[in-house]
Amino acid sequence: MKPGQMWKFHGNLNRIIDMDAAGVGANAIAGVFQDNGININANDVRSLLKANEQLTRKALPKTEAQKLIQQVDIGGFEPV
């Protein structure tokens, strides 16, 4: 992801978090994004909120990601 994309993603996620904290429902949040040309739905909003909660608790070590990438590169990983 390029820096400009990261900033937009982070900004949009912050807007979702802000609206959720203010008690706005997932359908309404998705609607305001759709009204502004950003095609997400209520399930996307819920997923982002859940992922944000988990992904901000702990960082996955880069070495763990690198190990999996290496396994895929050498054919040692078979997705189901």
Dihedrals phi, psi of 65, to nearest 5 degrees = -65, -40
Domain ranges of the chain: 3-73
Dihedrals phi, psi of 37, to nearest 5 degrees = 80, 20
So what's the pLDDT on residue 79? Answer: 61
Over residues 10-22, the pLDDT tens digits come to: 999 999 999 999 9
So what's the pLDDT on residue 73? Answer: 74
So what's the pLDDT on residue 1? Answer: 84
So what's the pLDDT on residue 76? Answer: 62
80 pLDDT above the threshold of 90: no
Over residues 20-76, the pLDDT tens digits come to: 999 999 999 999 999 999 999 999 999 999 999 999 999 999 999 999 999 887 766
C-alpha to C-alpha distance for 48 and 55, rounded to whole angstroms: 10
